[in-house]
Structures are given as structure tokens and as C-alpha cells.
Amino acid sequence: MGENKRLQISIPANLMKEVQGHLGSSEVSNNSEFFKEAVRLYLAHLKKDQIKKQLKNGYREMSDLNRDLADEGLLNNHRAISFYEDNLADCD
């Protein structure tokens, strides 16, 4: 994994008691492992949220272009139908 760094933190006693209640009953067996896993999960959550925000902003930025393309497509479709109908009427 790499070099470990020591970190000293302070958390409320009731929160630490809850952490200790989960030690041994989960994938982690000591405080260090618990907090390493908690930080990993929290960072993954932050990354996922950041990606969601980027996608949301991208969809917003593209909405005007998508609307314009849809309008253009409708206009072209209308022209094609009119052309077809005009040519069909000439066949009579």
C-alpha cells in the first residue's frame, strides 16, 4: 500500500463507543483499520458526488444545444413531409 502516516483525532465519546461496538464484528479489527476504511468510503462517496455534479452541469450546459438540434430536426422533418406531399399531389 505505501508508507503509513500517523494521525491523531478527537471524536466524541459516544461516537467512539459506537465504533468500538463494531470492531471485530465487521471487516475491521482495530481502530486504525476502522478509520482507514471509513476514510476510503467517504472519499469514494465524495468522488461519486463530484461526478454526479459534473454530469448534472454538463446536461444543463447541453440542454440549449439539444433543444436547438431537436427544433432543427422537427423543421427538417416538416420540410421532408411537405416535399413528399407536394410530389404525391403532382402524381395525380
Sign of CA dihedral 19, 23, 25, 29: positive
Query: Residue 56: its pLDDT value, please?
Result: 94
Q: Is residue 7 part of a domain?
A: no
Residue 60, domain member (yes or no)? yes
Does any domain span residue 5? no
Q: What is the mean pLDDT of the chain?
A: 88
Within a domain: residue 75? yes
Name 20's Cβ contacts closer than 8 Å, sequence gap at least 6.
Answer: 31
| Single-letter amino acid, residue 11 | I
Confidence of residue 1 (pLDDT cuts 50, 70, 90): low
Is there a domain that residue 61 lies in? yes
- Residue 3 falls inside a structural domain: no
The per-residue pLDDT for range 38-58, each reduced to its tens digit, is 999 999 999 999 999 999 999
Indicate whether this model's pTM tops 0.85: no
Q: How many residues does the chain have?
A: 92
Dist CA 9 CA 31 (whole Å): 11
Looking at the structure of the chain, the number of domains it has is 1
Q: Which residue has the cell 465519546?
A: 13
**What is the extent of the structural domain holding 36?**
13-90
